[in-house]
Structure 1
Amino acid sequence: MFQKAKLSFWQIWTMNFGFFGIQFSFGLQQSNMSAIYKYLGAEESEIPILWLAGPVTGLILQPIIGAISDGTWSPRFGRRKPFFLIGAICASVALLFMPYSPSIWIAASLLWILDAGNNIAMEPYRAFVSDILPKKQHSLGFLMQSFFTGLGTTLANFTPAILISIGFFALTDTMDNGIPVATYWAFFIGAFASIASILVSVYTTKEYPPTPEELAAIKAEKEHGNILTRTWKDIVTAFKEMPLTMKQLIPVKFFTWYAMFCYWQYLTSAMSLSFFGTLDTDTAGFKEAQVLTGQVNGSYNIVCFMVAFALVPLAYKIGAKGVHFFALILGGIGVFCIPYLSVTEVLFSIPNPFGSGATPIYTLYLATIGLGIAWASMLAMPYQLLAGSIPKEKTGVYMGIFNMFIVIPMIIQILTMQGFVYELLGSNPINVIKMAGVFLGLAAVFTLFIKVKRKNQVVQ
């Protein structure tokens, strides 16, 4: 029986390095797109629908790319790596042109391209871990992705603030369309990071060729119809045979990602209103809130990659289910408390590495501790719970379907927030952030209903 070789720490590091560029791109999107839309003239109530690109492209592309990559093999390019390259090229092009958007619809169109590229590259990355690593190293592989998620999004979020702190640009320097110059350069750096990091993984990691039996199965499938027909059949069959663990994770994923989409869409506006008393994009307060959004998001991602590897032994000790429950509780508390914290009360100061003087650390950053722990867990523990319960030959399609449980809640969030929830919350972005905290707590409660036989062994 074929045994996968145990890889060294650095081999696992390089195979997952491409995740850094993908997440750098996502980090720029999370912290800047709402502000970009507002600079281009969008109303507060229009923000959710303008974020539709991400979940829709994910819903359509992730299961399709997963199923197609399961049935793909090229002796020269491999199984998953061609998708990494195609996705990275699309994302890099969109990042380059995004800050030049002259109108809302151009920015929204580029976001569709950006999200399509990121989804094409990211979806096979989950299956990449299951393809190459032995089962005992799955936790390390997925948590390495959490580490690069933290690192990539942290640098993406802090890049505008760093450029301003160094003195390259002033906070109020803007392009003709009103978008800050620092934002443009952050997107330019992201375009380079996206393609460069993927190339490192592609050229340093070798995929296992399919066994003769797997090749015969791939060939037989190709003879049974065109690729779209086969893909659709694979997805339908996978839904019918969905493992129990995957079904039990559905409500956990729903409340988690509904909450996170609320957080990303409304954090800038909530902090601008809570801390600076304005939603006017022409004010210094709003621009400060945009930079602060990057710093807050960057801070929780610092926490994410600091704790990511600590979650590995903890998951072995108390189980992935227990880790995920406690992490989501901490995240919910952190998000809920954001409007009650401060950007004037200083906890302590640290030397400014990019300029003179000291950088104050405000009480606001206490929220990032809980959110960072939750973020590290939500990017790894559900996949750890799932990985042992799905058939090897259908890893890609099941990972794609599992990722649908991320994007469907996002679509529901957009439709409900746009339809009635925002008005129900008093048309106040601060209340949206509070609701996000409550929903993370509900996700934690539903985690308790996942049945396990013993630590880290899921019911199949």
Structure 2
Amino acid sequence: MPLKTKPRQGFAGLWNISFGFFGIQIGFALQNANMSRIFQSLGTSLDDLPALWVAAPLTGLLVQPIIGHMSDRTWLGRLGRRRPYFLAGAIMAALSLFVMPLAPALLFAAVMLWVLDASLNISMEPFRAFVGDMLGKDQHAAGYAVQTAFIGAGAVVGSIFPYLLERMGVSNEAAAGGIPDTVRYAFWFGGAALFAAVLWTVLTTNEYSPDEMAAFDGPADEAAADHNVRVLAGRGFTSSAVWIAAGAAVIAAVVAWGLEKEVYLLGGLLAAYGLASAVAIALAKRGGGAGMLGHIVGDFSGMPELMKRLALAQFFSWSALFIMWINTTPVVAQYFFGAPTAESPNYQEGANWVNVLFTVYNGVAAIAALALLPFLARRIGRVMTHVVALLCGAAGYASFFVFRTPEMLLLSEVGVGIAWASILAMPYAILASSLPQRKLGIYMGLFNVFVVVPQLLVATVMGSITKRFFPTEPIYTMAFAAGVMVLAALAMLRVPRDA
């Protein structure tokens, strides 16, 4: 029996499928632009910022593969398989955004960042697979472009809102150990907007049933589905031992060389993955099904070659992005507003200007996703389009050393915005068209491991680098970001041009 073709979606369908991401990105933008500010306002030092930011990528690392695996196997009647996770994550994220600005102390704020990021990841991960579920391969690029446009638009709203509130007369001054009203009200607005946007997608879309998906993609091949688990059962424990030994070596290096304490987490994660893989191999060897852990480890070790090559580019590009998110506020405040600490008179003004800068790069991303990137992709292909965009991002970071006024940094954000648009669209469009639909959720979740692992690496190692080599000159972190983004562009050259 010939397979059916998924119906083409018009503009309204593409809008409804991804509109929830508009709200999710408002939450991420408020977090990215303001958490360093909140932490510094509550008393943390510049050296300790990376350690506090560890919560965000760590939750993504743990949550996304699990949610991807579960959503591939979920069907809750009329609610479907992806939408239950959209809704649950949105409810928790909205509550977190309402509570975050009430943080009475630094520890409370750090815990709430953990909860907020876990909630955002629960909603976000299935949205990547949702586009692949709902659209045919010929519309994947368009679907991810629209999703990226909503990401950019949501980030614009989330980033600019504290700045607009100040212009409307809301106080931007923070009492000692407190959070400004501009940030407080922006988080409350963001919580409401996030929930409303996700609810829109939940109510206006109907997922294809398992029978319909089988008609589109063919019946599930159970033998193929369990292939990676069978391969896992045939493996020895050598690789697991290597991961555990690598983790122990990192921990020993922290002790021997006096590295920052957050590097312990990196060693612990390496050892934990080695232990998890050993358990998964043992379960697979026993037969009778390896469970969720076995499937996740098996699918991770059995990733398609194209996915591995894309993953390397993702690793470098997201390393650069995380360096930017952590350090832009202290860099701009110190070098462009003369405010090296949170107690300096112009610090809050500099922090609000960062919201403007983040608004610009997200606005550029929204426009580039719908106009520039499709234009380039038609002429030079998706792979080379991504290479060009990443180099634009590297130029944007490097320009921080050239420009001398806050207003000129707006030009820097144009390059960053083009790179951001491509990072959010091109790898996923390439990937969704090459993966088996029955495993789209788990593979998208595993692909995002290469989004969160570099963030963990930056959060655990960058603090030690900064403290050792340029403790009072955070602008050099932008040189790192530029160099790493160039490495991402070089890694993309290994991806087949016709992908």
Give the structure 2 partner of residue 267 of structure 1. 328
1:399 aligns with 2:444: yes
Match of 2:427 among 366, 369, 382: 382
Please report how far the alpha carbon of residue 65 of structure 1 lies from its aligned counterpart in structure 2 after TM superposition.
0.3
**Change over 3 Å in CA distance of 1:329–1:64 after alignment to 2:** same
The letter of the residue matching 2:13 is: Q
Aligned to 2:148: 146
Q: How many Å apart are 1:450 and its aligned residue? A: 1.2
| TM-score normalised by structure 1 residue count | 0.89
Q: Is the partner of 1:308 in helix, strand or coil?
A: helix
2:182 — aligned with what? 182
Which among 57, 68, 76 is matched to residue 66 of structure 1? Answer: 68
2:186 and 2:175 map into 1 onto residues whose CA distance is 14
Q: Is the 8 A contact 1:274 1:339 kept in 2?
A: no
Is 2:302 the partner of 1:241?
yes
**Partner Cα separation in structure 1 for residue 152 and residue 202 of structure 2:** 21
Pick which of 208-217 and 407-416 moved more. Answer: 208-217
Residue 175 of structure 1, CA deviation:
5.6
Task: Tell me the CA shift for residue 6 of structure 1.
Answer: 0.4
Question: Do structure 1's residue 414 and structure 2's residue 459 form an aligned pair?
Answer: yes
Task: Confirm whether residue 338 of structure 1 aligns to residue 385 of structure 2.
Answer: no
Partner of residue 171, structure 2: 170
SS at match of 2:491: helix
Matched, 1:48 2:50: yes
- Conserved? CA contact 1:132–1:208, under 8 Å: yes
| Greater share of helix | 2
Distance 1:218 1:58 in 2: 30
One-letter amino acid of the counterpart of residue 397, structure 1: I
Report SS of the residue matched to 2:172: coil
Amino acid at match of 1:138: H
Q: Provide Cα deviations, 1:297-325, integer angstroms capped at 9, x if missing partner.
A: 00011111111112124213211111110
Q: Is the CA contact (8 Å cut-off) linking 1:422 and 1:428 kept in structure 2?
A: no
Instruction: Tell me how far apart the structure 2 counterparts of residues 375 and 100 of structure 1 sit (CA, whole Å).
Output: 31
Letter paired with 1:160: P
Following superposition of structure 1 onto structure 2, how do residues 65-214 of structure 1 map, counting pairs within 5 Å?
65-167=67-169, 169-172=170-173, 174=174, 177-211=177-211
AA aligned opposite 2:171: A
Cα contact 1:334–1:366 (8 A) shared by 2: yes
Moved more, 2-11 or 411-420: 411-420
Q: Distance in 2 between matches of 1:383 and 1:82?
A: 22
Q: CA deviation at 1:177?
A: 4.0
Structure 2 residue matching 1:211: 3-state secondary structure? helix
User: Percent identity over the alignment?
Assistant: 39
Report the secondary structure of 1:390's partner residue.
coil
1:432 is aligned to 2:477: yes
1:21 and 2:83 correspond: no
* Residue in 2 that maps onto 1:355: none
Distance 1:39 1:339 in 2: 27
Tell me the residue number matched to 2:365: 304
Question: Could you give the per-residue CA deviations for residues 239-276 of structure 1, whole angstroms, max 9, x where no partner exists?
Answer: 23311111112321121111111100110100111112
2:54–2:460 CA contact under 8 A, matched in 1: no
Superposed, 1:296-375 pairs within 5 Å as 296-310=357-371, 311-343=373-405, 362-375=407-420
- 1:281 maps onto 2:342 in alignment: yes
Are 1:234 and 1:397, in contact at CA under 8 Å, matched by a contact in 2?
Answer: no
Instruction: Output the TM-score relative to the length of structure 2.
Output: 0.83
SS in 2 for 1:284: coil
Distance 1:213 1:336 in 2: 47
CA distance in 2, matches of 1:113, 1:340: 38
> Residue 208 of structure 1 aligns to a residue in which SS?
coil
Distance 2:313 2:330 in 1: 27
Q: In the TM superposition, what whole-angstrom CA distance separates every residue of 1:129-165 from its partner, at most 9, and x where no partner exists?
A: 0101111111111111110110001111110111111
- 1:25, 1:194 within 8 Å by CA — same for their partners in 2? yes
Unaligned runs of 5+ in 2: 226-282
Are the equivalent residues in 1 in contact too, given 2:33–2:325 (CA < 8 A)? yes
Contact 1:422 1:432 in 2 (8 A): no
Q: Give ranges in structure 1 of 5+ residues lacking alignment.
A: 345-361
The question of whether the paired residues in 1 share the 8 Å contact of 2:101 and 2:183 is answered with: yes
Cα offset, 1:219, TM superposition: 11
Alpha-carbon deviation of 1:7?
0.7
- Of the structure 1 ranges 125-134 and 426-435, higher mean CA displacement relative to structure 2 is found in 426-435
Native 8 Å contact 2:466 2:474 kept in 1: no
Distance 1:130 1:171 in 2: 43
- Total equivalences in the alignment: 432
Structure 1 runs of 4+ aligned residues shifted over 4 Å read: 212-221
Paired residue for 1:347? none
